[in-house]
Structure formats: structure tokens, C-alpha cells
Amino acid sequence: MFYREVGQYKSSYPADQAIFPLSNDRIGVMIILLIAFIWPPLSGSQYLMGPILTQLLVFGLAALGLNLLTGYAGQVSLGTGGFMAVGAFGCYNLVLRLPEIPIVIDFILAGLMAAAVGVLFGIPSLRIKGFYLAVATLASQFFLLWIFDHVGWFTNYDPAGVASAPTQTFFGALTGEGRALEFLAPIDVIVSGPNATPETKYVLTLAVVVVLALLAKNLVRGMTGRAWMAIRDFDIAAEIIGIRPLRTKLLAFAISSFYCGVAGALYVFTYVGNADTEAFDLIRSFTILFMIIIGGLGSVMGSFLGAAFIVLLPPFLNIVASNLGEGTLSGAALANLELIVYGGTIVFFLAVEPLGFARMWQIVKEKLRQWPFPY
Amino acid sequence: MDAAEAQSHETERVRQFKDLILEVDGVFVSFGGVKALQNVGFSVYKGEIFSIIGPNGAGKTSMLNVISGFYKPSAGSIVFDGRDRTSASPEQVARMGFARTFQNIALFKGMSTLDNIMTGRIVKVKSNFLKEALYYPARNDEVAQREFVEGIIDFLEIQSIRKTPVGKLPYGLQKRVELGRALAMEPEILLLDEPMAGMNLEEKEDMARFVLDVNDEFGTTVVLIEHDMGVVMDISDHVVVLDHGERIAYGVPDEVRTNKDVIRAYLGEH
Amino acid sequence: MDLVDFLFFVEVLVGGLLSGIMYSLVALGLVLIFKASSIFNFAQGALVLFGALTFVLLTEVAGDFWMWTGWLAIVLAGAAALIMALQKLNVDGSAVKQFSDKYLPRMPIFIAAFVVIVLALFIDGGQNMWRAVFVTMLLFLMLTTAVQSPKWAIGVLLGLAVIALITDGAVTYRAFAVTLAVVIGLAMAIERIVLRPMVNQEPIILFMATIGLNYVIEGVAQGVWDADVHALDIGIPDIPFDFYGVYFSQFDLFAGLIAAALVTALAIFFQKTRVGRALRAVADDHQAALSVGIPLKNIWAVVWAAAGIVALVAGLMWGSKLGVQFSISLLAFKALPVIIIGGFTSIPGAIIGGLIVGATEKLFEVFVGIPFLGGGTENWTPYMLGMFFLMFRPQGLFGEKIIERV
Ligand SMILES: Nc1ncnc2c1ncn2[C@@H]1O[C@H](COP(=O)(O)OP(=O)(O)OP(=O)(O)O)[C@@H](O)[C@H]1O
Ligand SMILES: [Mg+2]
């Protein structure tokens, strides 16, 4: 009834190519974004902003990065954690050693570092594919973490190997007294470290993620995205229509790692506030792979839906457990149950709906479009 | 026998061509013990429809793979427009102006008809990923490509399946979309590997009409592999016949039709 | 290099080679499955953990577990007999026949039952009654869905009952026999219930599905049993052993012998038996094998069973070396570079690949890692090595070269 495309004719190609061709969708997304920016800070709930929403956004961004590589370009990677670590420790050192740089530029530079490393580890993709490549990406996962563990410089010689986000303002140290950008000081805010408010951290994360998600959406609906999908669906045919395999795959590795790197930087600065290598271990890489399988391979929105599932499952199970009564489900049992639910969901989606939640959502929309006259 | 000489046989529908566009000379390809091509050579004129025929396993597809750079011949040369390009990679070959379709459809299954055909424009786009990420700087280019592709969609009469995922299309339409993708590359030479295989009569006629139209309207040179003798003899300007990897006949359709070796090769099959 | 240095080098090398054999044990399972069905089974490591954990806990578990298991097995054997009887009475259109067709060996029913049992186990904190239900149901499930033979089900379940109720003294043998059956059952059930229905999917989708399975099995294994570290003693002391001034680990030597025996057994199996020959035909070309009437499905079942056995052996070896614990399934990851180096389809490749990986990681760690890099290089050397092999010899040392066609 309410969800209709009838009467919405597209008279030009640009209009037809818009991200949300239906005005219903467009308005819906605007409203959701508006609520996302305003409601959690107003609610003042730290739990909602931090462990729930910021976590969802950070991992959603990493999942989006992996989805560009795996879901769009078809190159399976088990090294996501390693690329996140590059961004995390890269950004930490930038802020620590060059506090003058505005934080957003730090994020971008951290992403670029991860992109460079990603390209390096993407080189084998020219010769190998499928699970052969997946195994090769394990090399990046283990090697990168080993480096961050063994070279003390990366964590500023912290005895426990933990990088703790220093206090940093949005525009950087140059807004300090007597520095070049002092005039910006009144509108500057602290965005990281113990003095940053959860509201600022959440809004900054959301802004970064929204912008990057939009850029990703633009990429995948343009020629770059088509080249990636062509390589994914039929690499030989792609080459024969003039797509340069190495360039296309390395670009996918670079952009994917950029996203993962920024996610890693956000993890340290706006989500947890610190990180050691354990935060980016192999389990993390798998978890992010699970997000895109469950959410939908080759879907920008699916990356976030999958992240939501994985982030919300543990608190959900906890609530179930506490409702069953104290002690019926022990902590260990819950952890194992989580493993089973994750794994079972993965198998279910791969067997039944390889395109994940994103596809299910589309099917729901199809149904809605026809409701209440389904013919 | 030489192709130019063959031209002198005047039949009603022999067209005249003067420039060579593709010269294949002494090509050898083998896989382990299988000799897929042995010393095969022929020349294709600019603007003609050229057919490669032969029984199953004769080496036709292998020849096309050599031309499109997917197989590297162990000996022999491929000259395109006067330049040697024997060792070019498939992607370089594509950018020189070759496009092809495949015997077993090689579409991008996860994408719609429109997107499949749009991939053919990748060789023509000027924008880069940074512009695309920002969308507006790349929009005009994208719209121009889209307009071109819509032209092809109209030409092939597949407007109604524009947004359908190609995996869901029937076989005949998939072949048509694959042709569309090749045409989107605006090729100088179009290589078609059995474009009419497995089609019913009506679909075959459509496909033959498209091929003739492309050749007529854009002057695109067509190299065609086809099993349907009727079609081949009707629309080709020159034909080369392969058997067991060797060239057994070469010339205008009328000559090939009456060639003893050809008759033997085809009869011997059964 | 003087003699002492040389002897030390040899000691490290041999130590590496022998520990590499342990990777080969896991890799063997991967190769078997890959040969038969082109599936890269990421869950092999979880199977190894499952086998080791099941065995060690069956040796520790209290008597009431065995009592429950025995009686349940008898009840289920009775049920299987009933199924068989109903199926014999296949008078067309009779109510009995309709009932048996409709309700009896139906996979969703069994899967649902299985889920309920696992949940019960979780809520009940691993009571022996539920563990017994789990073990017997797993076997029953496997035999009725994977093998689809009530006759087998009756036999195996009665055997289980006998073992559970009568063989009180022989703790180790009893545990081994039951573990073997359960692990084979699990492997076959995975193939039949999860992977076979997905047979037409892309290999990479199947690969990711096995990653999911890996999680499920790990969760079930630790949920049904527990997640503590258990010592496992299979009677071989891990003391060094002096050979002309070079010290070898006796245990590692034993592991090497086991691996050699396993490979020999597999080689004989594939060369001499009908199933083995069929498997080789399948590995060469699935379509061709199908068209000459080789029953692919039976082969898959046999191969998964074999992979289950290999996983159990690997689990016992790993478990007695390191203790049975979760990290076993992580160590099994190193079997991945092993088969990349050896080739995905080659049994000798799995062994040689294991030796290369073992030797390289030990030599590199001792002579480069510890002196110059601060140690811990074993974490990544196998994967880097695998990556280089992939770059320069993508099919591995013994794999067949892949030629793509269009
Ligand atoms: N990649 C390859 N690996 C091994 N053998 C190959 C390969 N490609 C082609 N061949 C062999 O080369 C020979 C010629 O094959 P080709 O596909 O060129 O024949 P064709 O003339 O196209 O036959 P058809 O009419 O059946 O399409 C065949 O014997 C084939 O088996
Ligand atoms: Mg062919």
C-alpha cells in the first residue's frame, strides 16, 4: 500500500542510476541517518553509543572493506585483522608523534598505510585464486601481527604491548595556545583519550563511516565495481573484455585495506580507546568474514546488517540466559553457544541464501511492493 | 590456394575487399600430446565475414583463443593491422579492438543484463576510481556509456530484460547479451564462437540478422565459428576449414562446399 | 662449521622434520577430502580437536555415562529394528508404509532432535545423561541418514551397548572404540547433511561453509565435553633419545612411525581396493567417473570416514604431545600451507609438505628467529613459505597443473 514504485518514472539515466531510485527509500534513509545522528547522543546512554553502536559502526566498516574485496572482487581474504592492525598502530603512531595533524587526516593516512600493505599482500592474487588465495592471506595475518608484537616501537615500547589512544582534538595540536590555528580553538573538541565524551566519539565515528560507505556505494555502482564483479564472476572473460586483472585486483586490495585500516584506527581512537595485537587476531578476521557472509556478499548495506547480527548476538544471548534464570547457562556455555550460532548461521546462509540478509531484505521489499494484493 | 585468388571466382554474392586486417600464419598449439593446431594460417580482410568451420575437436575454439591472446602459440604469428601482436595478453588484445563471445556462455552471472553490457565499455571509460567514488566527476562519462549501451540494448531488442540478472535468462537471450557485451566494446574485429549453437530456427535467424547488421552498419569485421552449414555458406565471405588441427580447405564458400577433403572430413565423422 | 654445530644443526633439522609429520597427519585428511570432492575442508582442525577431546573425556567420564549410553543404544537399536520391520512391510498404500515413509528416516527430524540435545547439554551444564544421548544420537543420526542402513545401525548400536555395559576394565580401549565410531559418524554426517546438498555451489562457497562448520564443531565439542586442558597419555614417554650425540624425541619418532603406517595403509587402500581405485578415477575427473557409473556418493562417505579416522589419529598424537585443548585446532591451520606446498591432490605431497614446513619453521626459528628477530617466527614462516610456493608453483610440488579452458 505505502511502499510503491508506481508513478515514479525515471526520465533520465542519472536518475535511474541514483543510489536509491525510489523516493520512499531515499526519504527512509534520510530519516534513519537523522535519527542515528541525533537520538543516541540525546539518549545519553553510554552503553548504547559505545559497546553497541560504535562497535557496530567500526566492525561494519571493516566488514564493508572486506566485502569490497571478497563480495565484489571475489578475492577471499582471511587477513582482515592484519590490515586493521596496520591502520590501528599506524594511526596511533601518527597521533603520538605528529600531534599537529587533524584526526581525520590521521585516519586517512592510517588507511593509506593499510592500503599500501594490502597491495603488497595482494600481489599473489595475480597467480592464485579461491581458497588458495585465502590461505596465502593467512600469511599477512600472522606476519603483520608478529611484527607489531615484536617491534616495540609500534606500541611506543609499552611493556604490555598496548597502544592507548592519546588525548587528541579534532583539529590537532595546532589549535593550542600560540599555535598557528589557535583561532579554531573555540570550535575544537577532544575526540580521543580519557577526556573525550562518548557523544563526540560516537558522532565522529558515525560521520566517518557514513562518508566512507557513500564513497564505497559510488564505487561499486560505477565502472570500478563492474570491473571487480566481472573478475569475481568470470576472471578469464573479464580479461578478454579488456579488464586488467592485476590492476583491478590490486585496486580492490588497496581500497579494501584502506577501509579496514580506518576501521582499525577507529577501533583504537573512538571505540575501545586502546588495542593490543590480540584485538586483531585471526578470530577477528573470521568474525568479519562471517559478517559479510551473513549480511550479504556484494552488498554495502549487508556489511552493516551482518555486523549488527554479530555485534548484537552476544548481548542477546546474555539476556536470554539471564531470563532462563541465574546459572542455567554458564559463561563458558554461552561462549560455545555463540560459536555454534555463528557457525550454524554461516552454513545456513551459504546453503540457503548466499546473498545473506541484504537479499532477504530485498525479498521483503518485493513483497511489500505487492502488498496487500499479491499477484 | 590463396584467398585473393579465390576472390576472382565471381559468384553473385562475393564482395570485394582490399585491406587485410588480420594475418594468421603457421600457428602451432598443443596440449600435452594433443596437437590442437598445426601450421594453421589464413588472412582476414577488413569488413568481411570470415568463418572457421570443422568437425568437433578440430581446433576452432583453440584458434579463437590464440587470436584473443588466451593461448600462446608455440610457433607462428598473428599480425593485426600490419603490427605483430603474437604475444599480446588478452587484455591488450581487447584494447586493440578485438571482442569475442564464447562457445559456453561466459557472462558475469551475478550481474544484470545492463551491467554485463556496461562491462564492455570498461575499455572506453576515461574516469578513474577516485572520480567514481565522488560520483559527480564521473557522472557524465557514466551517462555517456549508458547511452551507448542503451543503443545496443535497443539494437538487440532486449529492453525488457535490462535489469534481470543474466543467470535467470534463457539460453538464447544469454547468447544475445553476450553479443551485446562484445558490441559495447566497439570492436574492429568481432570473434564469435558458435553464436547460434543450441538455438531454434527463429533465434538463429535473429542472431544471423544481428551479425549481418553489425557487419553492414558499422563495417565490423566478423570471424565466426559455426556448425550450421546453411548459415555459414549464406553469410560468409571466406571460409577456412580445420580438421584435427590442420587446415584442410580455405576459400570462398562455393569452393569450400565442393572441396573433397571437406566432404570427407564431415562424412568421416559419422 | 665444527662438529658440535653440525650435530646441533642435525638435531634441529630432525626435530623439525618429525614435528612436521604431525602437520602431515592433519594434511592427509584434507587431501583425502579434496581428492574425492574438491572441497577444501577447513573444519579438519575442529575434527582433530573433537576426536582428541572425545577420547580423553571418555577415559575420564564416570560410570553413569556408560550406563546411560548402553541403555540408550539398546533403545535406539530397537527403534532401528522397528524402522526396518516397517520398511519390510511395504505393502503399497498400507497405513504402515505411509507412516514409515512419512515420519521415519527424515533428516530434518533428526537434525531438530540433534539441536534439542545440544541445547539441553548447554542448559544442563554437561550432565552425563545428556552426553550419552549426544553420543548415541550422533551415531544413530549418522547411520540412518548418511549410511541409510538400519541394519548397520542395529549392529553398531548393539556393539556400543556391549562396549558400554560390559567392558568395564579396559578403559582406554573402550574409549578408543567409541571415539572412533563417533568421529567417523560426525565426519560422515557432515558430508551427508551439510556438504552434499551444497554440491553444486562454487568451491569457495563450500570452503566458507566449512569455516562455519569449524565453529559449530568447536562449539559442540567444548559444550558437550568441556574447555579445560586435559593431559592425554597414550603410553609413549616423551624423553629424549641419544643417537651418536644427537638427541631425538622418542615421541616424535613414534609419531613419524604412525604417520608412515597411516600413509602406507592409505596407499594400499587406494592401490588395491575397488573403492580406492574408484576414488582415483573420481579425483581425475568427476564427470567421467559419474558417467562410467562410479557411485560418487558412496565414495564420498568412505572418504569422509577415512578423514575422520585420520583426524582422530592426529588428535591423539597432538593431544598427548601438547595436552588436549582448544589450541590444537589452531595448530591444525598449519596443515593448510602443508598441502599448498605438497599439492592438494597428493598423499605423498602431504607428507613431504609437512616435512618441509616442519624443518623450515624450526631451522628458521633457531638460526634466524631467536638470534636476530626476537623469536616467535614459527607463527608465520609456514604461511610465507606457502605463499611463495603459490607464487611460483601454484599447483604445489606434486599437484597436477591446472589448465583453464573457455
Ligand atoms: N585447455 C586445454 N587443455 C587440454 N586440451 C585442450 C584444451 N583446449 C583444447 N584442447 C584440445 O584441443 C583440441 C581442439 O579443441 P577445440 O576446443 O579447439 O575444438 P573445437 O574445434 O572448438 O571443437 P568443438 O566443435 O567441439 O567446439 C581438442 O582435442 C581439445 O580436447
Ligand atoms: Mg569449440
pLDDT in tens, B47-70: 999 999 999 999 999 999 999 999
Residue B210 in domain: yes
Main-chain phi, psi angles of A53, to 5 degrees = -75, -45
For residue A321, the one-letter residue type is A
Residue C240 in domain: no
8 Å CB contact between A13 and B146: yes
Asked if C373 and A127 come within 8 Å (Cβ–Cβ), the reply is: no
Residue A141 in domain: yes
Residue A11 in domain: no
Which residues are bridge partners to B247 per DSSP? B242
Binding site membership of B97 for ligand 1 (Cβ less than 6 Å) = no
Query: Are B168 and B196 members of one domain?
Result: no
- pLDDT attached to residue C93: 57
CA of A236 to the centre of ligand 1 (A): 17
Residues of chain C whose pLDDT is less than 50? none
Which of A333, A342, A347 is opposite residue C125, by nearest beta carbon? A333
- pLDDT attached to residue C156: 84
Upper half-sphere CA count for residue B92 (Cβ side, 13 Å): 10
Query: Of B163, B186, B209, which one is at a domain's C-terminal end?
Result: B186
What is the grid cell recorded at A236? 578469464
Which of B31, B61, B106 is opposite residue C403, by nearest beta carbon? B31
Averaged confidence pLDDT in chain B: 90
pLDDT in tens, B11-59: 445 688 889 999 999 999 998 888 999 999 999 999 999 999 999 999 9
CA of B63 to the centre of ligand 1 (A): 9
DSSP A79-127: -HHHHHHHHHHHHHHHHHH-TTS-HHHHHHHHHHHHHHHHHHHHGGGGT
Virtual torsion, Cα C196, C202, C207, C210, nearest 10 deg: -30
Q: Is B226 in a helix, a strand, or coil? A: coil
DSSP state of A167: P
Query: Of B186, B220, B241, which one is at a domain's C-terminal end?
Result: B186
Query: What total number of domains does chain A contain?
Result: 1
CA of B37 to the centre of ligand 2 (A): 13
8 Å CB contact between A158 and C405: no
Q: Is C241 in a helix, a strand, or coil? A: strand
Query: What total number of domains does chain C contain?
Result: 1
User: What CATH number is attached to the domain comprising A204?
Assistant: 1.10.3470
pLDDT at B168 over 50: yes
User: Relative to the CA of C404, which ligand 1 atom is closest?
Assistant: 1
- pLDDT attached to residue A356: 82
Residues of chain A whose pLDDT is less than 50? 1
Query: What total number of domains does chain B contain?
Result: 2
d(CA B89, CA A239): 9
- pLDDT attached to residue B101: 96
Residue C241 in domain: no
Query: Are B64 and B116 members of one domain?
Result: no
What is the grid cell recorded at C231? 593431559
Binding site membership of B122 for ligand 1 (Cβ less than 6 Å) = no
8 Å CB contact between A228 and A92: no
Residue B7 in domain: no
CA distances B270 to B179, B196, B233, B261, B264, Å, are 32, 22, 21, 15, 10
User: What CATH number is attached to the domain comprising B216?
Assistant: 3.40.50.300
Over its C-alpha atoms, chain B yields an Rg (Å, rounded) of: 19
Binding-site residues on chain B for chain C (CB distance < 8 A): 31, 61, 65, 70, 102-104, 106
d(CA A188, CA A195): 13
This model of the complex carries an ipTM of 0.90
Which of A236, A240, A343 is opposite residue C215, by nearest beta carbon? A343
Residue C232 in domain: no
- pLDDT attached to residue A1: 47
d(CA A265, CA C285): 48
Considering Cα of B257, then B259, then B260, then B261, what sign does the dihedral take? Answer: negative
Residue A288 in domain: yes
Closest CA to A289 of A337, A332, A325, A256: A256
Closest CA to A64 of A248, A288, A282, A270: A288
Query: Are B120 and B92 members of one domain?
Result: no
Query: Are B169 and B38 members of one domain?
Result: no
Q: Is B222 in a helix, a strand, or coil? A: strand
Residue C236 in domain: no
- pLDDT attached to residue B7: 45
What range defines the domain where residue C126 resides? 3-224+249-392
pLDDT at B10 over 70: no
Residue B9 in domain: no
What range defines the domain where residue B193 resides? 17-97+187-270
Report which protein residue has its CA nearest ligand 1's atom 30. Answer: B57
Mean of pLDDT values over B83-107: 94
Where on the phi/psi map is residue C84: left (φ > 0), alpha (ψ -120 to 50), or beta?
alpha
CA distances A246 to A115, B91, B188, C405, Å, are 15, 11, 25, 20
Asked if B65 and C406 come within 8 Å (Cβ–Cβ), the reply is: yes
Binding site membership of B37 for ligand 1 (Cβ less than 6 Å) = no
Neighbours of A121 (CB within 10 A): 22
Asked if C406 and B31 come within 8 Å (Cβ–Cβ), the reply is: no
Virtual torsion, Cα B42, B45, B46, B50, nearest 10 deg: -70
Query: Are B112 and B245 members of one domain?
Result: no
For C63, residues 6+ apart whose C-beta sits below 8 A from its C-beta are none
Residue B10 in domain: no
Kind of pairing between the strands at B49-53 and B221-225: parallel
DSSP state of C194: I
Binding site membership of B30 for ligand 1 (Cβ less than 6 Å) = no
For residue C183, the one-letter residue type is V
Q: What percent of chain C has pLDDT over 70?
A: 86
Mean of pLDDT values over B231-235: 89
Residue A125 in domain: yes
Mean of pLDDT values over B84-109: 94
d(CA B176, CA B189): 17
Closest CA to A273 of A45, A46, A44, A39: A46
Partners of C340 on chain A (C-beta within 8 Å) are: 132, 135-136
What is the grid cell recorded at A95? 597521533
8 Å CB contact between B49 and B224: yes
Residue A92 in domain: yes
Query: Are B174 and B124 members of one domain?
Result: yes
Residue A16 in domain: no
Query: Are B114 and B40 members of one domain?
Result: no
Report which protein residue has its CA nearest ligand 1's atom 23. Answer: B57
Asked if C208 and A282 come within 8 Å (Cβ–Cβ), the reply is: no
d(CA C210, CA C213): 5
Residue C46 in domain: yes
Query: Of B161, B186, B211, which one is at a domain's C-terminal end?
Result: B186
Residue B5 in domain: no
What is the grid cell recorded at A274? 586502546
Residue B128 in domain: yes
pLDDT at B269 over 70: no
What range defines the domain where residue A237 resides? 21-370
- pLDDT attached to residue B62: 95
Query: Are B179 and B210 members of one domain?
Result: no
Asked if B142 and A236 come within 8 Å (Cβ–Cβ), the reply is: no
Q: Is A178 in a helix, a strand, or coil? A: coil
Query: Are B259 and B246 members of one domain?
Result: yes
CA distances A105 to A112, A174, A257, A267, B263, Å, are 10, 13, 17, 16, 74
d(CA B90, CA B68): 6
CA of A161 to the centre of ligand 2 (A): 60
- pLDDT attached to residue C347: 84
